Amino acid sequence: MPTVLTRQLSNVPTGPGRPRHTGSRSTQQPAREEILDHAARLFAERGFSGTSTREIAEACGIRQASLYYHFAGKPGILAELLELSVRPSLEKVETIERECPTEVPEAALYLLALIDAHTLATVPHNIGKLYRMPDVRSSEVFEEFEPALQALTAAYGRLGATVVSGSVAAIVNLDQLAGLLIQVVEVVIRIRSRGEEVTRADARAIAATCLRICGVPEERIARSAVTADDLLLRFAEEGQT
| Coil/strand/helix, residue 234 | helix
In the chain, what is the straight-line distance between the N-terminal and C-terminal CA atoms, in Å? Answer: 12
Residue range 87-126, pLDDT digits in tens = 989 999 999 999 999 999 999 999 999 999 999 999 989 9
Structural domain spans, the chain: 9-77, 83-237
Give the CA count within 13 Å in the CB-facing half-sphere of 148: 20
> Residue 241: which pLDDT band, with cuts at 50, 70 and 90?
low
pTM for the whole structure: 0.83
DSSP 238: T
In this prediction, residue 223 carries a pLDDT of 97
**Distance (Å, whole) CA 78 – CA 189:** 18
Q: Which ranges in the chain belong to alpha helices (H)? A: 31-46, 53-60, 64-70, 74-90, 93-99, 106-122, 134-137, 140-161, 166-169, 174-185, 187-193, 200-213, 218-237
In this prediction, residue 31 carries a pLDDT of 86
Q: What percent of the chain has pLDDT over 70?
A: 87
Q: Are 115 and 28 within 8 A, CB to CB?
A: no
**Distance (Å, whole) CA 160 – CA 211:** 8
**Distance (Å, whole) CA 37 – CA 56:** 9
Q: Are 82 and 64 within 8 A, CB to CB?
A: no
In this prediction, residue 132 carries a pLDDT of 86
> Residue 30: which pLDDT band, with cuts at 50, 70 and 90?
confident
Average pLDDT over the chain reads 87
Q: Are 53 and 10 within 8 A, CB to CB?
A: no
Mean pLDDT lowest among 6-20, 27-41, 59-73, 204-218:
6-20
Angle, to 10 degrees, between the axis of helix 74-90 and the axis of helix 53-60? 70
**Distances, alpha carbon 8 to alpha carbons 55, 125, 165, 166, in Å:** 23, 11, 36, 39
Q: What is the mean pLDDT of residues 178-200?
A: 96
Q: What is 9-77's CATH number, 1.10.357.10, 1.10.150.530, 3.90.650.10, 1.10.10.10?
A: 1.10.357.10
The answer to whether residue 14 scores a pLDDT higher than 80 is no
In this prediction, residue 16 carries a pLDDT of 34
